A and B are shown apart, each in its own frame.
Chain A
Amino acid sequence: MENLTEDQQSIVAMVRDFATTALAPHAGEWDEAKHFPVDVLAEAGTLGMGGIYVAEDYGGSGMTRTDAVLIFEELAAADPSIAAYISIHNMVAWMVDAFGNDTQRAAWLPGLTAMTDLGSYCLTEPGVGSDAAALSTRAVRDGDHYVINGTKQFISGAGSSALYIVMARTQDNGSHGITAIVVPDGTPGLSFGAEEKKMGWRAQPTRQVVFEDVRVPVTNRLGREGDGFTIAMKGLNGGRVNIGACSLGGGRAAFDKSVAYLKERQAFGGPLIKQQHLLFELADMDTELETARTMLLRAAAALETGDPDTVKLCAMAKRVATDAGFHVANQALQLHGGYGYLSEYGLEKIVRDLRVHQILEGSNEIMRLIVGRLAVED
């Protein structure tokens, strides 16, 4: 790819090497067995993938958001499900790094950056998704502790994570009454629902997280009381770019498979690639992916420099990239004919995995809501 620094080229080469040897050969099997490969995540941790844009003092890699986009694209080209989990984990690690005090950073970052401790982000509730500011999980102050009650829904990594960042209500004033609290695994009163059966993302668990009189010290709070919603949204800005990069990687893998397949598949007296309609289809797919890449890199640069348009650019990039990734993967399946529908060819898994990227970390409708509101704002 053009415009990459020498370091970035080495980073991409290493991640591609890792992804093609440690992820790709097992992706199908993990999907089928619903296996969450925590050992492989720990290996990724030794390479620096647990805190890609976390400061270096407690084990982070101190790299840029642009580096993160490049990394997630490569990981997802091998396995979108694992790449996406690593992206969520990085969002959690970054929230601790960015909003934790030094005691908290020293306590939690070494394990998170090594990925020997996994992290989960707990915002959504059974009755509240897109309208996250209406969440009802409650944290009540009791001396030096918070007592948390409520249920979080669709939590990635739940049951395997060591740390849960929970957005809980401490006051009844909408988004300003939400506080971010870190709940370690094993805290009495913390339990998990059954593993959800899902269309994709099967190599990582999604479960309810249930809080019944969960007591954690007040010192587990990130930032101040009432900062929780802002912290959650700031985490999501980066999360959206990363999940978009995961869609780009999955889409690219599907595209590459299609190019190879159409060159090889014979019909109507020659390789299918000779059909101009199919060639045009590939051209559109490639263009969609490059558009997504451009948007992602622009949003990543905005995050890095603190551009005033960051929120807008992240929302746009998330929508464009996750739509492009899914559309390209689905189209790639079509181009493979009946074979695309067989698991063996690896396309239907990409389609299943990328589908949810259009729904989570703020659905693509919510991305439009954000962009639209900003466009008409005075």
Chain B
Amino acid sequence: MKIVVLIKQVPDTADERTLDPATGWLNRDAGDNIVDEINERALETALRVKDGDKSTEVVVLAMGPEEAAKAIRKALSMGADSGIHILDGSLAGADAARTAAVLAAALKGAGADVIVAGNESTDGRGGVVPAMVAEHLGLPLVGSLASLELAPGKVSGERQGESGTLSVSAALPAVVTVTERSAEARFPNFKGILTAKRKPVATLSLSDLDVPATPAHTVIVSHSERPARTAGTKIVDEGNAGTLLADYLVENRLV
């Protein structure tokens, strides 16, 4: 089986994340950029298939700046076999539609049985790229799975909702996305780290891909900083704290 995992390099959520005031784009130099944790989980799903069947081929695909090569390297150290890096200056500021069109163009010739992505990235949080990719490729989307099983020709899994759990399945090829409830990613081992450099990474520019040069359909008109955190709500117990607390939680839809 051939599995392609879509990985996005994002700023570490442990650092403070800021927007560039001029472009409204994410300021990527502000802190460490890492493989999105959700994509590490997507990769884990693929690697577990490979653990069981060594003939499984796992490829990671990332569109991003030069530095995204590091994210690919990390994925290779965890156990992916090879990487594809779409690197092209003209893609800076690409919106979700453009990102999806480009990723789909790279996937067209890849012959993947299954494409695994995160359900949404931790920076853009659009949650739409995988669906758009599926649309471009004419493949079913099996989205937001908390657990899944990949068997030859078939993917099945569970999607957790507010009111219950759905069991879903589809014939392969398909696009699958996983949530943060899916299996926790492994650490790369020393051998993986030391051999990652030797694994092949194909770097593609837009001219290598059959994708029309469309401008971003969406532009950022304005943005504002999140207001500073205000002091929290304090409940003073005058014998009714329990009720007040419960009311507060219900009112703010926290339960």
Q: Name A residues whose Cβ lies closer than 8 Å to a Cβ of B.
A: 6-7, 10-11, 14, 17-18, 46-49, 52, 56, 61-63
Contact = CB atoms under 8 A, between A and B. Distances in A.
Interface string B79-103: 0000000000000000000000000
Contact of B194 (A7, A18, A47, A49): A7
A82 B255 CA distance: 40
Contacts of A17: 187
Contact of A11 (B74, B193, B197): B193
A11 B187 contact: no
Given A10-B74, A10-B77, A63 B187 contact: no
A56 B190 CA distance: 11
Contact of A63 (B74, B77, B190, B197): B190
B189 interface: yes
Interface string B209-229: 000000000000000000000
B191 A48 contact: yes
Interface of B: 73-74, 77, 187-191, 193-194, 196-197
Contacts of A46: 189
A7 B187 contact: no
Given A7-B194, A47-B188, 14 more contacts: A6-B197, A10-B73, A10-B74, A10-B188, A11-B190, A11-B193, A17-B187, A47-B187, A47-B189, A47-B190, A48-B190, A48-B191, A61-B194, A63-B190
Q: 4 closest A-B pairs (Cβ-Cβ)?
A: A48-B190, A61-B190, A47-B189, A48-B189
A18 B191 contact: no
A46 B191 CA distance: 10
Contacts, number: 37
A56 B194 CA distance: 12
Q: Give the residue among B77, B194, B196 with the most A Cβ atoms within 10 A.
A: B194
A61 B73 CA distance: 19
Given A7-B197, A10-B74, A10-B77, A18 B187 contact: yes
Contacts of B187: 14, 17-18, 47
Main secondary structure of the interface of A (DSSP, over half): helix
A17 B196 CA distance: 18
Contacts of B194: 7, 61-63
Nearest to A22: B187
Nearest to A47: B189
A11 B197 CA distance: 13
Contacts of A62: 194
A18 B189 CA distance: 10
Contacts of B189: 14, 46-48
Q: Give the one of B190, B194, B196, B197 with max A CB within 10 A.
A: B190
A7 B197 CA distance: 9
A56 B191 CA distance: 9
A139 B73 CA distance: 52
Nearest to A46: B189
A7 B74 CA distance: 11
Contacts of A7: 193-194, 197
B21 to A, nearest CB: 30
A6 B77 CA distance: 12
Contacts of B197: 6-7
Nearest to B34: A13
21 contacts: A6-B197, A7-B194, A7-B197, A10-B74, A10-B193, A11-B190, A14-B77, A14-B188, A14-B190, A47-B187, A47-B188, A47-B190, A48-B189, A48-B190, A48-B191, A52-B190, A61-B190, A61-B194, A62-B194, A63-B190, A63-B194
A6 B70 CA distance: 10
Contacts of A47: 187-190
A14 B197 CA distance: 16
Nearest to B74: A10
Contacts of B77: 10, 14
B78 to A, nearest CB: 10
B244 to A, nearest CB: 31
A33 B141 CA distance: 49
A62 B196 CA distance: 15
A113 to B, nearest CB: 11
B40 to A, nearest CB: 11
Contacts of A52: 190
Nearest to A11: B193
Contacts of B73: 10
Contacts of B196: 10
Contacts of A56: 191
Contacts of B190: 11, 14, 47-49, 52, 61, 63
Nearest to B197: A7
B186 to A, nearest CB: 8
Contacts of A61: 190-191, 194
A291 to B, nearest CB: 28
B50 to A, nearest CB: 15
Contacts of B188: 10, 14, 47
